[in-house]
Amino acid sequence: MKKENNKVLIDGLDKVILKALMTNARKSINEIAKTAGISGAAVHQRLKKLEKTNLISGSQLIINPKVLGYKTMAFIGIYLDKAIRNPEAVKQLEKIPEVIECHYTTGNWSILIKILCEDNQHLMNVLNHKIQTIEGVSRTETFISLNQQIKRQIQL
């Protein structure tokens, strides 16, 4: 691994290690070491270096929201009456547990959020009583996801 023009350049061994963890973040260092043909200590050292460059920003357990009853995913474009209201609107959106992503965007919307709800009734309640009541929100535009067809990370 090298750094060039503020860009991290990874080698083939780094890719083997990263791909193994991207496939299964619970894979042991010893398993990765066997696959990569190096020692567990070498894998550990490389991972520490990659973490220091911020290429690796953590690992996480992924929960299937459908199993918990969250069957409706929606993307909501939020129009603010003034751009200066963005920071306060985001603070209010952070308080809404159904909001799982929030993006400051170009184009028509000031903010684009992704939310998970149990059903359409729950979605309507979140829209009407939580999102549209935030000061500065002039209107919203909602798109319900029927099916997530691609979900992946950047390719190495």
Q: Using one digit for the tens of pLDDT, what is the confidence trace for 102-151?
A: 999 999 999 999 999 999 999 999 999 999 999 999 999 999 999 999 99
- Residue 126: closest CA among 109, 110, 108, 144: 144
Query: ∠ CA 111-112-114 to the nearest 5 degrees?
Result: 140
Q: From CA 53, how far away is CA 65, in angstroms rounded? A: 32
Domains and CATH numbers, the chain: 2-52 (1.10.10.10), 65-145 (3.30.70.920)
Determine contact, residues 1/11, Cβ cutoff 8 Å: yes
Q: Which amino acid is at 46?
A: R
pLDDT higher than 80, residue 4: no
Element (H, E) at 13: helix 12-23
pTM for the structure as a whole: 0.84
Q: Are 86 and 111 in contact (CB under 8 A)?
A: yes
pLDDT value of position 85: 96
* 95 token code pair: 């308080």
Chain position carrying tokens 């894979």: 27
